[in-house]
A and B are shown apart, each in its own frame.
Chain A
C-alpha cells in the first residue's frame, strides 16, 4: 500500500476510527493496534517478508534487554555485534548479493579467470534498509547508555514496524519514538490538522511535481543520445527536482499520518536547495539517514582518525559518503555518487569555510545576491552529480555527461516550451517552501498567517491543482486531433 492509493485511504480511515474511538482509553490495546495495523500494512504488499520483520524485531528485542542487563562491556560489545551482523547480513544478502557476485566475476575475468557463480533473482523486502537501521541504532544507543532497553515487547515491535515510516522512512530513533509509544496519547486538534496539511503538501509534491518530472526525465535518461545538450541539462534539472519532491513528499505524508495518530516523528528534509554549501545541503537532505550515518559511522571514524586533524576528517567523510551512496542500493553508480559528494567537502574543510554558517535571509523576505549565488552554485553541483545517481550504470552516466559537453548546450531546449506549466508549478513549490523555510514543511507559513477562510482557500487551491495537474498514466491518446 502506498500512501497515495485508495487502499491506503480506506486502511487509514478505519485505523483512525479504531485508534481514537475504540481503543483510545487503553494504551496497551492502542499499541497492539499500531502493531497489528503495521503488520497488516506490510503484509498487504507481501506477507512472506513479514516473518523477516518479526524475526528481526524479536532478535533485537532480546539483544537490547541482555545488553542492558550485563555490566560487562565486552559482553555488551558481542551482543551488539550479533545484532549488527544479523541485520547488516540480511541487508547484504537481499540488497547486495548479486552486486558482489557480479563484481567478483568481473574482477576475476580481468585476470582471465571465468567464474560461473550463480546470481539469485531476489526480491528486496520492502523497507528493510529502514527497519534494519532503526534496530542497529537502538542496540548502539542501549550499549552507550543513551537509552534504556525497551522491556515492553509491544512497544518495541511497534517501534520497529511503525507503519507511517516503515517503508520509506524517516528512520526514527528509539529515543524519539519509544517514549511516545510508552505514554498515553491524547487527541490534539492542532497537531492533527497540521498533519492533514502536511499530507496535502506531500501529495502535491509527489503527484504533481515528482510524477510530472518523472514523466519527462524517464524519456530523457532512457534515450539521452537522442537529445541536445541543453535538453539533457533540463533533464538533469527535472531529475533532481523529481528525487527531492518524491522523497520529501513521501516523508511529508509519513510525518502527517503520524501526527494524525498523535506522534511527532523525525523531520526528514529541511529545504536542501536553500543550502549555502554542500555540507549544509547534506545536513538538510534525508536528515534521518545523514544524522544516523554521522552518529554511527562518521563520528567513530573521525574519533579514531582525530590525530590526523583535517586529513582524518576528510578520510572519515569520504568513507561515510561512500556508505551513504551504497545504502541506496548495490550499484557502482551509488559508490561513485557517494565518493564525489565526500570529495566536495575537501575544499570546505581545508579552507575552513565550513565553520562560518548563518541563517539564510534571516528576518528578510528575499536572500542577498551572495546567498543566491551560493544557493545556485550548490544546487548546480547537486544537480549535476545526481545524473550519476539517476543513470543505470557508469557507462550511461559518462555517456550522459559527454553528450552534455557540446555546443548545443547553449541553445534553448525544444522541450522547454511544453514544460512551462511544470516549471511554474516547481516555482510555486519553491516559493511556498521559501516562505516556510524556518518551519517544518512548506505550508506552515501561510497556515499561521491566514485566517480560517484563507487557509481553506489555500487547501482547496492545492487540491484543485493536484486534480488539474497530477500526472496520470493512461494509454497514450492516439486519435485526438488526428
Chain B
C-alpha cells in the first residue's frame, strides 16, 4: 500500500508537468486539425477582440462604457457617440455572458472610470455556458488570477487547455509584436471598440414560434455586476438592442423578459422603440447593418439627453 501511495503521489505531479509541457508543444507545433480541445485563436478570429483588448489598456476616464455580446461591438458605433460629445469605449465581445462581463469589469473598470455604463442584455446570454467567450478572452488578453477562477468555475477541458497555453504565451512573451489587421474580411475595427461590417442586407424569413428560456445559470453573475456598478456609483442603463422584427416577434415571452429587466433599473428595449426592417437594417437575423446602427444609435443618444435633463 505504501508503495502504491508513493507511486501515486509521484505520478500525479509528473502527469501535471508533462501535460502542461505537451500542451505547449502541441500549441506551438501542431496544425489546427490536431488541436481539437486547444482553442487559442487571436488575430482575425472572433470579433476584433485582440485589437479591442490592446486598445482598452490605453484608454482612461470615458463617459460611456458599453458591455455585452456581439450586439454590443456591432451595435454601438463610437464615432456617432463622439459626434454627440460622448467619449466612449466598447468592451463587447463575441457571445459574452455575464460571467465574462464581470471578469472584464474587474480588470478594466477602475481604469476606464466611466460615468455611465450601457449594458446590452439579450435573453440568450443568460443561458449561455460562456465557453466560447471565455476562450476568446483567454486568447486575446493577458491572463491573471481571474482567468483561473473563471476556468475553475466553468470546469471545461477546452478552457483549461487554452488557459495553460495562454499562460505559456504570456510568460514567454510569445504574442509580442503580433498585430491584428484593421480590416479582416468584411469587418473593419474602429477605434473605441466598434466593429463595422461592410454594408449588406438580410431578408425576410418566417421563424417558428419560440420562447426565451429565462432560467439560465448566469443570473447570479448578472446580479454581481449590478452590485459592483452600484458600489462604484456609476449610472447604469440596460439596453436590449434591436434584432430583426420577424425574429423578435416569434418569441412569445418578450414581455416577461422586459419586466424582469425593469426590476433591475433603467431599461430600454429598442425593439419597441425603433422600427426597423428585416432586410434594410440588418445583415443577419440579429445583427444590425450600418444603416440600422445609425438609426439605433441616434435614438439612443436622444434618450441619453432626455435622461440628462
A20-B1, A459-B15, A460-B18 are contacts. A479–B70 as well, Cβ < 8 Å?
yes
- Chain A contact residue count (CB 8 A cutoff): 25
In whole angstroms, what is the CA distance A193 to B5 when docked? Answer: 11
CB distance from B135 to the nearest CB of A (A): 8
- Convert B1-45 into 0s and 1s, putting 1 for each residue whose CB lies closer than 8 angstroms to a CB of A: 101100100010011001100110010000001111111010011
Q: Does A410 contact B (CB under 8 A)?
A: no
Min CB distance B282 to A, Å, is 16
Cβ of B129 within 8 Å of any chain A Cβ, yes or no, is: yes
Alpha-carbon gap, A420 to B33, bound state (A): 9
Residue A481 interfacial (CB < 8 Å): yes
Given contacts A420-B33, A470-B37, contact A480 B132 (CB under 8 A): yes
Determine if A468 and B36 form an interchain contact, defined as CB atoms under 8 angstroms apart: yes
A467/B161 contact (C-beta < 8 A), A460-B15, A472-B156, A479-B46 known: yes
Answer whether residue B242 sits at the interface, using C-beta atoms and an 8 A cutoff.
no
Task: List chain B residues, Cβ under 8 A from A192.
Answer: 4
Residues from chain B with a CB closer than 8 A to the CB of A460 are: 14-15, 18-19, 22
Question: Min CB distance, A458 to chain B, in Å?
Answer: 12
Compute how far the CA of A187 lies from the CA of B34 in the bound complex, rounded to whole angstroms. Answer: 41
**Binary interface profile of B, 138-172, with partner A (CB < 8 Å = 1, else 0)?**
00000000000000000111101100000000000
Closest chain B residue, CB of each to CB of A457: B18
Check A464–B37 contact: CB distance below 8 A.
no
- The interface size of chain B toward A, counting residues with CB under 8 Å, comes to 38
The answer, yes or no, to whether A474 is at the interface (CB within 8 Å) is: yes
Query: Given the complex, which residues of A lie within 8 Å of B18, measured CB to CB?
Result: 460, 464
Majority SS at the chain B contact face: helix
- Which of chain A's residues have a CB closer than 8 A to the CB of B160? 467
**Contact residues in B for A456 (Cβ distance below 8 Å):** 11, 14
Of the residues A193, A421, A468, A478, contact of B132 by C-beta under 8 Å: A478
With A479-B70, A480-B45 already in contact, the answer to whether A421 and B33 are too (CB < 8 A) is yes
A475 touches B4 (CB 8 A): no
- Give the most central of A420, A477, A478: most B CB within 10 Å: A477
Separation of A127 and B23 alpha carbons in the complex (Å): 39
Check B289 for interface membership: any CB of A closer than 8 A: no
Determine if B128 is an interface residue (Cβ-Cβ < 8 Å).
yes
Q: Which residues of B contact A (CB under 8 A)?
A: 1, 3-4, 7, 11, 14-15, 18-19, 22-23, 26, 33-39, 41, 44-47, 70, 94-95, 128-129, 131-132, 136, 155-158, 160-161
Sample of 6 more A-B contacts, CB < 8 Å, known A467-B23, A468-B38: A456-B11, A460-B22, A463-B15, A470-B157, A472-B157, A480-B94
